[in-house]
Structure 1
Amino acid sequence: MAEGLRERKKRETRQRISDIATGLFLEHGFVTVTIAEVADAADVSVNTVYNYFPTKEDLFLDRSKGVVDRLSRWVRGRDVGESAAAAVLRELRDEVEAVSPRVGLMPGYDRFMRVIHDAPPLRSRLWSIQQEVQENLETTLREETGAAPGDPLPALIAGQINWIHQTVMGSIGREMVAGREPDEVSRETLALLDDMEELLSDKVLNYAVRDHS
């Protein structure tokens, strides 16, 4: 019981620090705000902040672990008879059609993207995250297909699937920063997904089809 209470308190503290830091970054900019200011606003020590977030970038991009695993999670959860690319396309369409905040379709996302745009360290971290997404997906495709270590196909397919995801997220980010309404961006992004699917070869669209439950 006591262990459970301690873990819950840690999660609550971590979330509170993250929320306060995000608010400060959105208001004053990532480069301007210091860890000491975050700690003061959260009423914790600087060491406590670093215990939960090893770097300042982690404070702003604290949900990156979920993003890194997103494509792999969708591929692993694909239906019987569904390929890896088809699963990602389906999941993306569902998120976009639902006008989901998880893909940036929400009021205020423009402020989030501007903070990243104005901070070179965040842009660098975002690029690193995108590389992790693709590498993670390649590993998943190798596991799901039983590909040999030297087989280049999982890496090539992962690149194609990651291109879909990055293009969609990039397009949504640009349109939201331009002041567009989420519903409007959603409709246009669904059309963009159709266009991208038409560009994919049969080899990509039929790779890693799940043949059993």
Structure 2
Amino acid sequence: MAEGLRERKKRETKRRISDIATGLFLEHGFVTVTVADVAEAADVSVNTVYNYFPAKEDLFLDRMEGVTLRLSRMIRGRDKGESAAHAVLREMREQIGAVSPAYGLMDGFDAFMNVIEHAPTLKARLFYLQQEVHDAVVATLREETGAAEDDPLPLLVGGQIAWIENTAVGYITREMTAGRKATAVSRETLVLLDEIEDLLSEKVLGYAVRD
């Protein structure tokens, strides 16, 4: 269905508010800038900001929603004969090898992470998002395999799959915030993914193979 004019205007307004807020946070810090400051800069009311963003943290992390379900999409999109873990490793290699901004391989990522580093509520939100990623992976594995609720394998394998991404993202974040070049960090992360794969058991690597 084509996007209507009303929906398009709402999406554009939300994006504009988010962009303005991010610019303010990068310049002045998350703690210092208030929602009222964002509203004034965006020429909207405070209530309008809250209509689009229930919490101040959502203004800075509003594009993280796709990250929560990223691994689940990779698992559901696995090829015939491919396991869940191999699908995740394959897609991560493709995106990281392409120096994708989706994994923080971009100019300015250090400034983005610096804002988070100095904002306890943003750091707490990121930890919460990591748990959401894990829970989504586990739920997806149960759906894809038909595993019973008391079957521990989706929980155990899901934890390992979430660990793959979390470890790679942690490495990229550390290196990018140290001022490294994205292309170099990309190459090193691909090596890291190979090492991670070597550590995984055959039970994890062979789980949820698509018929």
Aligned residue in 2 for 1:140: 140
Could you tell me the TM-score, scaled by structure 1's length? Answer: 0.97
Alignment pair present for 1:115 and 2:125: no
- Stretches of structure 2 lacking an aligned partner (at least 5 in a row): none
CA–CA separation in structure 1 for the residues paired with 2:56 and 2:187:
35
Percent identity over paired residues: 70
CA displacement 1:133-168 (0-9 Å, x = unmatched): 000110000000000110011011010000000000
What are the superposed Cα offsets for residues 80-103 of structure 1, whole Å, 9 maximum, x if unpaired? 000000000001100110000000
**Paired residues, number:** 209
- Aligned-partner Cα distance in 2 for 1:149–1:189: 35
- Superposition deviation, residue 63 in structure 1: 1.1
Q: Distance in 2 between matches of 1:172 and 1:26?
A: 20
SS at match of 2:142: helix
CA displacement 1:57-82 (0-9 Å, x = unmatched) = 01100012100000000000000000
Deviation string 1:20-74 (CA, Å, 9 cap, x unpaired) is: 0001011111001000000000000000000000000011000121000000000
Question: Which letter maps to 1:6?
Answer: R
The Cα of 1:173 is off from its aligned counterpart by: 0.5
The residue number in structure 2 matching 1:100 is: 100
Structure 1 runs not aligned, ≥5 long: none
Cα distance in 2 between the residues matched to 1:67 and 1:181: 23
Q: Deviations over 1:159-211 (max 9, x none)?
A: 00000000001110010000000000001000000000000000000000001
The SS at the match of 1:81 is: coil
Match of 1:70 in 2: 70
Q: Deviations over 1:110-132 (max 9, x none)?
A: 00111111110000000000000
Distance across 2 between alignment mates of 1:63 and 1:107: 17
Residue 59 of structure 2: aligned partner: 59
Q: Which amino acid aligns with 2:115?
A: V
Aligned-residue Cα RMSD (Å) equals 0.7
Alignment map for 1:12-23 (pairs within 5 Å) = 12-23=12-23
Rounded Cα–Cα distance in structure 2 between residues aligned with 1:92 and 1:46: 39
- Runs of 4+ displaced beyond 3 Å: none
Counterpart in 2 of 1:37?
Answer: 37
Rounded Cα–Cα distance in structure 1 between residues aligned with 2:149 and 2:205: 22
